[in-house]
């Protein structure tokens, strides 16, 4: 057993309950350590990108160099040395179109261990009547497999790694990449634009209901490596897609950076339902290690009566900094944000949303449930902005915090900017603890203390959990229970 | 014959104050006992102490349950062993449906006893039967536990839980309070349905009226943390007529 495996074993003993913390031993190819123009060129060359994309990356890199890290979030962490990390890591494999047979069996086994089947026939042979889910599997910096592509193609749906889409659908990618989250949008978005490695590209043509759930499974495996994925989803007029992403990483005692950008575009009467179950390694119980999850997610409801619904269950990461947002441009468009964020031990989360009402009769709903235990810190930060021409806007916001320990903290920071007097904005916020009577009621019915807390917490989160696609809701509930382990007693 | 419950000289303190001051009570299989007493006599303290509510400190005496030391068991273990407490004020659990709550509770108890989960069809068949017996609306079981329930609905829901969990010993803390006469009859049907030669029942009540529908084998009067008088069902009538002051 080498020293790395040893330290992983120790880590495992100290945290115990993060079951996705294993590493996969495969040969990987890295870019040289550090970040400079050459690294950007290296990544672009590795992916055989067209000249315009390299230029685009370099422009982002130049912008990033002039920017400073945001400090307004309610999170504390030591300064990140951006030169002390790898910006590209990929399992060694042959170039060219990847069939599943060419994928390293170790990687397939990794996904199996994570409960994700990349073999279509296994998915088909699964539980009778179970819905099909197409998966794009992203391992460190590259997509290793995408399932059900052919079947989706028949429906006209494009579902592939963004690095492939650059070659196969260059016009679409060129037109929309950065159109919703510009390169210089913020520090981490600029960094992502410069070094993004892979991610998922989805295109749903006009009047098409995507025939199955789409999902991307992100796995960070390599040590000391950042993951910078980029996802772009376009829903044409009258189309619908439900997309889910899941994330895990091995246990490492050094923090790792994950800075993703997600862009959604929704045309007239179309809808994107975007769900996230985020379970990056949260660090050990003493706050050592864990993923820094600095993510920019934004959707543009461009068409009339278009809709974006974000649902997130955030249980992992040492630090979470993310605000999935909706720009409600089309008249009558709808934005929704449903969030559960759990912080245990030394985890910190500063998360929320932005609802920008531009069009008339636009509506938004925000339901945020924060759960803190151990020494966790949880901040809801949300903006509701109504522009002058946005008539008859409706917003309803509800932020509930549940504190399980006296040593944890919950904070709610709403920003409300209304420039049109016809708007109706409602904001409700509560902070509570589990009452002794509630706990005893459950105990007296035979639930042990952890089961009782998990049940009460799941009830607290129900309004959000019920938004998740059925097949993921059960998993998310279990995850919630696991994240709270050791929080009572 | 092993008693279901055997309490000897039990002393219980709550918030530093001694409430039960040496209570002795024995319940054999098949028996229904009623404990009556005025406010503050220690009735609810007895119920909570038996169910193992944290904060109820036993400072003396013994309590055995089916021959086991009851006081050594944690609250959820007591439930697993078949002890049920019907609450005077059942709490709300927002977001958790009654169905989910009951099924989780039932399976937690089965797990404790080393049995597998009850399968969904059997569970649903059972609950529909019990719901009908208690004249409840099945749709209510899809709503969150006690949220938005009236006092009477909560008490019926307690009875439903009891019937589903099939306890060996049911301790019902003022299950009759706040019920109108129709609801009282229905709740009584629930209690009578659980009566059997191998179960014990402990009814804690203020009033005699429940005992018109559920006939007790023994009636005890609790005063200042002790049982001061024991009799048969006629004692309840006597109490009703003369009041606690004259009887005990």
User: Does A442 lie at the interface with B, CB-CB under 8 angstroms?
Assistant: yes
Confidence of residue A127 (pLDDT cuts 50, 70, 90): very low
Can you give the pLDDT of all 248 residues of chain B as single tens digits?
799 999 999 999 999 999 999 999 999 999 999 999 988 899 999 999 999 999 999 999 999 999 999 999 999 999 999 999 999 999 999 999 999 999 999 999 999 999 999 999 999 999 999 999 999 999 999 999 999 999 999 999 999 999 999 999 999 999 998 899 999 999 999 999 999 999 999 999 988 889 999 999 999 999 999 999 999 999 988 888 888 877 66
Q: Residue B58: which H helix or E strand, with range?
A: strand B56-65
- A455 and B54 in contact by Cβ < 8 A? no
Q: What is the pLDDT of residue A220?
A: 73
Closest CA to B206 of B170, B171, B174: B174
φ, ψ of residue B210 in degrees (nearest 5): -60, -35
What CA–CA distance (Å, rounded) separates A341 from A351?
8
Asked whether residue A256 carries a pLDDT value surpassing 70, the answer given is yes
Higher-confidence residue: A82 or A24?
Answer: A82
Higher-confidence residue: A393 or A83?
Answer: A393
A461 Cα to chain B: minimum distance (Å): 7
What CA–CA distance (Å, rounded) separates A354 from A310?
11
- A444 and B85 in contact by Cβ < 8 A? yes
Q: Write down the mean pLDDT value for chain A.
A: 86
- Of A141-145, A482-486, B206-210, the least confident: A141-145
What CA–CA distance (Å, rounded) separates A321 from A192?
14
Neighboring chain A residues of B90 at a CB cutoff of 8 Å: 441
What CA–CA distance (Å, rounded) separates A61 from B201?
76
Cα-Cα-Cα-Cα dihedral of A268, A270, A275, A276, to 10°? -50
Q: Do A249 and A281 contact (CB within 8 A), yes or no?
A: yes
- A460 and B87 in contact by Cβ < 8 A? no
Confidence of residue A5 (pLDDT cuts 50, 70, 90): very low
B234 Cα to chain A: minimum distance (Å): 33
For residue B226, how far is the Cα from the chain centroid? 19
User: Does A25 lie at the interface with B, CB-CB under 8 angstroms?
Assistant: no
User: Does A40 lie at the interface with B, CB-CB under 8 angstroms?
Assistant: no
The residue segments making up the domain with residue B162 are 5-247
Query: What's the rounded mean pLDDT across residues A17-32?
Result: 73
Neighboring chain A residues of B80 at a CB cutoff of 8 Å: 446
Q: What is the pLDDT of residue A254?
A: 76
Higher-confidence residue: A376 or A100?
Answer: A376
A280 Cα to chain B: minimum distance (Å): 27
Of B76, B106, B144, nearest to A448 by CB-CB distance is: B76
Domains in chain B, number: 1
Of A437, A444, A449, nearest to B51 by CB-CB distance is: A444
CATH number of the domain where residue B166 is located: 3.40.50.300
Q: Residue A299: which H helix or E strand, with range?
A: strand A291-301
Q: What is the pLDDT of residue A126?
A: 38
Q: Do A270 and A237 contact (CB within 8 A), yes or no?
A: yes
Confidence of residue A120 (pLDDT cuts 50, 70, 90): low
Query: Please, what is the Cα angle at A352 between A351 and A354, to 5 degrees?
Result: 135
Query: What's the rounded mean pLDDT across residues A114-140?
Result: 60
Asked whether residue A11 carries a pLDDT value surpassing 70, the answer given is no
What CA–CA distance (Å, rounded) separates A199 from A188?
16
Query: What's the rounded mean pLDDT across residues A206-226?
Result: 83
Asked whether residue A293 carries a pLDDT value surpassing 60, the answer given is yes
Asked whether residue A95 carries a pLDDT value surpassing 60, the answer given is no
- A444 and B112 in contact by Cβ < 8 A? no
Neighboring chain A residues of B92 at a CB cutoff of 8 Å: 438
Q: What is the pLDDT of residue B84?
A: 98
- B54 and A440 in contact by Cβ < 8 A? yes
- A437 and B93 in contact by Cβ < 8 A? no
Beta carbons within 10 angstroms of residue B63's beta carbon: 22
What CA–CA distance (Å, rounded) separates B49 from A352?
44
User: Does A489 lie at the interface with B, CB-CB under 8 angstroms?
Assistant: no
Beta carbons within 10 angstroms of residue A129's beta carbon: 5
Asked whether residue A130 carries a pLDDT value surpassing 60, the answer given is no
Q: What is the pLDDT of residue A250?
A: 67
Confidence of residue A482 (pLDDT cuts 50, 70, 90): confident
């Amino acid at each position: 057993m080498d020293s790395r495996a040893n330290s992983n074993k120790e880590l495992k003993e100290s945290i115990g309950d993060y079951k996705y913390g294993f590493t996969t031993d495969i040969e990987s190819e890295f870019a040289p350590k550090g970040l400079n123009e050459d690294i950007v060129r290296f990544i672009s060359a590795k992916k055989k990108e067209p000249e315009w994309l390299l230029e685009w990356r370099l422009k982002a890199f130049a912008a990033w160099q002039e920017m400073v890290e945001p400090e307004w979030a309610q999170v504390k962490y030591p300064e990140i040395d951006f030169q002390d990390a790898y910006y590209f890591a990929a399992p060694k494999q042959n170039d060219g179109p990847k069939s599943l047979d060419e994928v390293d069996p170790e990687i397939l086994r990794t996904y199996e261990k994570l409960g994700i089947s990349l073999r279509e026939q296994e998915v088909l042979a699964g539980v009778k009547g179970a819905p099909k889910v197409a998966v794009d599997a992203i391992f460190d910096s590259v997509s290793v497999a995408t399932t059900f592509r052919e079947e989706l193609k028949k429906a006209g749906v494009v579902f592939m790694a963004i690095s492939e889409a650059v070659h196969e659908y260059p016009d679409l990618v060129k037109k929309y990449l950065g159109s919703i989250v510009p390169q210089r949008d913020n520090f981490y978005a600029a960094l992502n634009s410069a070094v993004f490695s892979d991610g998922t590209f989805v295109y749903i043509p006009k009047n098409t209901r995507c025939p199955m759930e789409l999902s991307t499974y992100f796995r960070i495996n390599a040590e000391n490596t950042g993951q910078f994925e980029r996802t772009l989803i376009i829903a044409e007029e009258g189309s619908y897609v439900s997309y889910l992403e899941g994330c895990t990483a091995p246990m490492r005692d050094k923090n790792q950076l994950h800075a993703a950008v997600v862009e959604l575009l929704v045309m007239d009467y179309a809808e994107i339902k975007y769900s996230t179950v985020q379970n990056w390694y949260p660090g050990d119980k003493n706050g050592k290690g864990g993923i820094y999850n600095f993510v920019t997610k934004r959707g543009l409801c461009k068409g009339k009566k278009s809709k974006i619904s974000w649902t997130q269950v955030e249980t992992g990461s040492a630090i979470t900094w993310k605000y999935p947002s909706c720009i409600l441009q089309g008249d009558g468009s709808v934005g929704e944000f449903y969030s559960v964020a759990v912080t245990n031990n030394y985890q910190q989360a500063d998360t929320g949303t932005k609802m920008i009402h531009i069009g008339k009769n636009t509506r938004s709903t925000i339901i945020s449930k924060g759960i803190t235990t151990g020494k966790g810190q949880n901040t809801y930060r949300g903006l509701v902005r109504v522009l002058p021409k946005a008539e008859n806007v409706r917003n309803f916001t509800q932020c509930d915090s549940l504190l399980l320990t006296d040593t944890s903290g919950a904070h709610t920071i709403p920003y409300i900017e209304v420039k049109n007097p016809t708007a109706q904005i409602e904001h409700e916020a509560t902070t509570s603890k589990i009452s002794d009577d509630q706990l005893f009621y459950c105990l007296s019915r035979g639930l042990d203390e952890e089961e009782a807390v998990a049940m009460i917490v799941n009830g607290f989160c129900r309004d959000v959990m019920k938004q998740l696609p059925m097949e993921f809701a059960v998993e998310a509930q279990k995850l919630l229970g696991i994240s709270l382990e050791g929080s009572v007693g | 014959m092993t008693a279901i419950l055997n309490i000897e000289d039990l002393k219980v303190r709550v918030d530093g104050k001694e409430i039960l001051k040496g209570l002795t009570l024995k319940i054999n299989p098949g028996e229904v006992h009623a404990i009556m007493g005025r406010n503050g006599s220690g009735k609810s303290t007895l119920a909570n102490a038996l169910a193992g509510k944290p904060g109820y400190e036993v400072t003396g005496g013994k309590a055995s349950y089916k021959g086991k030391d009851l006081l050594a068991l944690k609250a959820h273990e007591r439930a697993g062993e078949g002890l049920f407490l019907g609450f005077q004020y059942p709490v709300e659990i927002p977001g958790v449906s009654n169905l989910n709550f009951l099924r989780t509770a039932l399976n937690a108890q089965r797990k404790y006893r080393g049995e597998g989960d009850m399968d969904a069809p059997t569970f649903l068949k059972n609950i529909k039967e019990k719901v009908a017996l208690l004249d409840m609306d099945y749709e209510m079981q899809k709503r969150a536990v006690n949220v938005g329930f009236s006092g009477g609905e909560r008490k019926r829901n307690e009875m439903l839980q009891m019937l589903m969990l099939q306890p060996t010993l049911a301790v019902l803390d003022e299950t009759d309070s706040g019920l109108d006469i129709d609801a009282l009859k229905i709740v009584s049907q629930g209690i009578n349905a659980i009566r059997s030669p191998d179960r014990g029942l402990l009814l804690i009540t203020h009033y005699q009226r429940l005992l018109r529908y559920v006939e007790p084998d023994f009636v005890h009067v609790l005063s200042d943390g002790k049982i001061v008088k024991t009799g048969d069902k006629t004692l309840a009538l006597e109490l009703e007529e003369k009041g606690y002051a004259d009887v005990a």
